[in-house]
Amino acid sequence: MAKIGWGLILIVILGILLFAAMMVMQKPEKSEPQPVPQEEQAENPKLTVQDIMHLAEIGKVPDVPFVAGEAKKQDIQQQWGEAQNVAELDNEKYEDYTKQDVTIGYQGELAFDIRSFKADIQNIHLEDIKNNMGEPTETRYYQDEATDQVILVYQVNPTYQLKWILPKPTEAEANPSVHHISVYTKIKDEVAEAINQMTLEEKIGQMMFAGVAGTTLQQETASLIHDFKVGGMILYGNNLETTTQSVNLVNDLMKANADKRLPLFIGTDQEGGNVVRLPGALKNFPTNQKIGAINEAQFSYEIGSLLGEQLKAFGFNLDFAPVLDVNSNPKNPVIGDRSFSNNPQVVSELGIQTMKGLASQQVIPVIKHFPGHGDTSVDSHLALPKVEKSLKDLNETELIPFKAAIESGADVVMVAHILLPKIDQNYPSSMSKEVITGILREQIGFDGVVMTDDMTMGAIANHYDMGQAAVAAVKAGNDIVLMAHGFSNVTSAIEAIKVAVNNGEISEAQINESVRRIIHLKQKYQLVNTPVPAVDINKLNADVERVLNAYMD
C-alpha cells in the first residue's frame, strides 16, 4: 500500500508540472506596443490648441490654404467656386463656403478674416485654450436672440489675432466647446489714407473730366492739371490730327501730371463706325448696327479688344463706349446705327462683350447713355430731350442692357441728359437724384463710378449755369462731372462744388466716397503716367483685317 501511495503521488506531481508547462507554452509573449502606421495617423490626427496657434502666427487656419491679409477673392473663388451665402456689413463682406465649413471676410477684394467651423476645432474646450495659451489679450462678449458667446482674443504677433468663439460659460457648462475660430488681420486702407492726405481742391479736381484745347499742350490745359488738379482729360477729333502729333499730346498730358498724387484718366469716344476719334490711316470698324446684324458674341468681344488695342497704342486708358442704348425710335437723331439693335437682349449680349474686350486691354469701358437714349427724338447736343416713360416702361426695354452689364462687372456708367417727367419733373437724368441715386444706385445696386455726359451740351448749357449744373449733378450722385469744352466752364464747376461743400450743401463725406470710387478704378486698371512710343499703324490694321475677315464677307 505504501508503494502504491507514493507512486500515485509521484504521478499527480508530474501531471501538475506537465500542465503548468503546457500553460506557460500557450501564454503569448509580452511585446512592446506597435506604433500606428503613419498613413493611419495622417487620417485621424488630433488637432491641438498649439497647432492652431502656430498656424495663426502665419495668418492661416487648419485645412485652409489661404492667408489672411494676402488672399484675394478671385484666387479663393478659383479654388472653391462661388460662396453659398453672402452678408454685407459696412465696407466688409462675409462669404460662407459651406462645403469647407469656412467663412471669409473681405475688405474690397482682400480676405482679412478667415473663420473655421470644422468639427475637429469644435472638439476643443475652454480649459484646453486657457491651459495652453493662458489668459487672452482681450475678452469680448456677443449676444443676440439666438446666441450668447464669449470671444477670447489672442494677439499672437503684431500682424495676426487668433479669436476663439465659444458659448458663454454657465454653472451647468463651465467648460464649453469651441463654436468656431477666427484668424484676423487689420488691412491697411491705403485709399482712405490717401484721401485723408488730399486737400478739398484735390478731391474735387479728381471729380472733373475736362476738355482739351488745341493740338498741343496749351497753358490753360496745363493750368487745369497743375492748378485745378483735374482727374481726367477728354480728347476729340479736333485735338487729334496726326498719329505723331496725337501721341505727343497724350504724352505731354501725362508728363504734366507726373508729379501728381494720382494718374490722369485720358479718354475719348472711340466707338467704331461713324464715331471715331483716333487719327491716321487706321482701318475702321463696322457700325454697331452691322455688328448687331451679325450677332456673334465673340465678334463683339474681338471688336472691343481691337478698340482697346488701338487706344492703348495712342496712350488712352478710357473709352466712352460701348453704347448700350436700344434703338427703339427710328426717328432718333443721335443714336441710330450707334446702337447694336432694337432688341434689348441683343444689345445686352453684344454690348457686354465689347465692354469685356476693352477691359481685356486695360482700357476702361464707359457704358452709356443711362437710363437709355434710344427712344428720343431730340439730339441732346442741341436741346433737352423729353421722354414720357415710367420706371416700368424703362424696366421693360431701356434698362435691360444696363442691368445686364452691371451684373457682368461694368465699372463706369455715363448718364444722359434726358428729362423723364414721370420720374423727375424738375431735373434731367444727369442731374436727377431720383434717377442716379434712386434707380441706378439703390434699385439696380451699382457701386462703380457714375459720370455725367458732357455738361456743355445744349441740353444743359441752354438751361443752366455751369457751376449750378455741376453742383446739382454731384448732389444727384455723380462721381465725375464731364465738362468737355471751355476752361472757364471747368473752373466755374470746381469753384461752385467747393462752395457747396464749404456751406454744407454737399457733405465732404460724399466727396470722399466719390474719390474712393475713382481711386479704386484707377488702381484696378493700373493707370500710370508712362509715355507711349510711336504707334505701329500697320500692326493695328493687320489685327483689324484678321478679325473682320473672320466674321464678315
Contact 358, 402 (CB under 8 A): no
Alpha-carbon separation of residue 15 from 10, 24, 79 (angstroms)? 9, 14, 75
Is 75 labeled as catalytic in the residue annotation?
no
Task: Measure the CA–CA gap between 135 and 45, rounded to whole angstroms.
Answer: 26
- If one counts every other C-beta atom within 10 angstroms of the C-beta of residue 18, the result is 10
Query: Of residues 325, 453, 454, 479, which has the active-site annotation?
Result: 453
Query: For residues 159-175, b (16+ Cβ closer than 10 Å) or e, as one string?
Result: ebbbbbbbeeeeeeeee
Contact 256, 223 (CB under 8 A): no
Contact 118, 101 (CB under 8 A): yes
Cβ neighbours for 145, distance < 8 A, ≥ 6 positions apart? none
Task: Measure the CA–CA gap between 239 and 235, rounded to whole angstroms.
Answer: 6
DSSP 136: -
Task: Measure the CA–CA gap between 206 and 130, rounded to whole angstroms.
Answer: 52
Contact 434, 477 (CB under 8 A): no
Contact 162, 49 (CB under 8 A): no
Task: Measure the CA–CA gap between 55 and 188, rounded to whole angstroms.
Answer: 22
Task: Measure the CA–CA gap between 272 and 270, rounded to whole angstroms.
Answer: 6
Instruction: Single out the residue of 346, 349, 327 nearest to residue 338, CA to CA.
Output: 327
Cβ neighbours for 439, distance < 8 A, ≥ 6 positions apart? 371, 391, 394, 399, 423
- Please name the amino acid found at residue 169: P
Contact 410, 365 (CB under 8 A): yes
Task: Measure the CA–CA gap between 347 and 271, rounded to whole angstroms.
Answer: 14
The answer, yes or no, to whether the previous bond of 35 is cis (omega within 30 of 0) is: no
Task: Measure the CA–CA gap between 324 and 397, rounded to whole angstroms.
Answer: 11
Instruction: Give me 362's grid cell.
Output: 486695360
Contact 347, 340 (CB under 8 A): yes
Beta pairing class for 180-184 and 208-211: unpaired
Task: Measure the CA–CA gap between 282 and 284, rounded to whole angstroms.
Answer: 6
Give, for 86, the enclosing helix (H) or strand (E).
strand 85-89
Is 125 labeled as catalytic in the residue annotation?
no
Query: Of residues 128, 189, 252, 381, which has the active-site annotation?
Result: 381
Contact 229, 260 (CB under 8 A): yes
Contact 473, 455 (CB under 8 A): yes
* Alpha-helix runs per DSSP H in 208-329: 219-226, 243-256, 288-294, 297-314
Give the alpha-carbon dihedral of 434, 438, 443, 447, to 10 degrees: 120
Beta strand residue intervals within 108-146, DSSP E: 110-116, 138-143
The residues annotated with a catalytic role in the active site are 381, 453
